[in-house]
Amino acid sequence: MGAELLRSEASFVYTQPTGRQAVASRLLEGLRAAGYECNQPSDIGYAETFRCMVDDQDFSIVVGLMDDGVREWLVSTNSRLRYWHRLWKSPDTDSHRKLAKAVHLVLKADPFLTELRWYTSEDYAQSPDDRWESHP
């Protein structure tokens, strides 16, 4: 049996107008309420980003407006393991899955959020209309 794919990109639609700072703040507050240590979001020009610790692993979360139909908003969860750590240390896939599931629960709890879709990075880049799932 093959390895389970890690879906680390989530897209969604908001049913009321909102800005990326508000979306990032809601996600950050939800993750903190779930017990995760996250720093304050920062504006990187096209998105808001913040770091989150899961099982002593460092992750970067990026929240941005895509404005592409049902992919209006995008949240990406990215491992911050440095290259040499990836070579010599066991992968952080379990921690990454835990984070994706926590992000999913926070997003699903938002009453103004619809069309939540999860993708692998490759599927989002290559064929987002055809290859998505309703869960991470």
3-state secondary structure 64-122: EEEEECCEEEEEEEEECCCHHHHHHCCCCHHHHHHHHHHHHHHHHCCCCEEEEEEECHH
Residue 91's pLDDT is 59
**Of 78 and 34, the one with more pLDDT:** 34
113-128 mean pLDDT: 91
DSSP 133: B
* CATH architecture for the domain at 9-126: 2-Layer Sandwich (3.30)
pLDDT at 130 over 70: yes
- Domain spans, the chain: 9-126
Between vectors from CA 116 to CA 21 and to CA 132, what angle results, nearest 5°? 125
**Of 93 and 114, the one with more pLDDT:** 114
Contact (Cβ atoms closer than 8 angstroms) between residue 5 and residue 120:
yes
Instruction: List pLDDT tens digits, range 82-109.
Output: 554 555 555 568 888 999 999 999 999 9
Of 14-18, 30-34, 42-46, the least confident: 14-18
In the chain, the amino acid numbered 20 is R
The reported pTM is 0.88
6 pLDDT tier (thresholds 50, 70, 90): confident
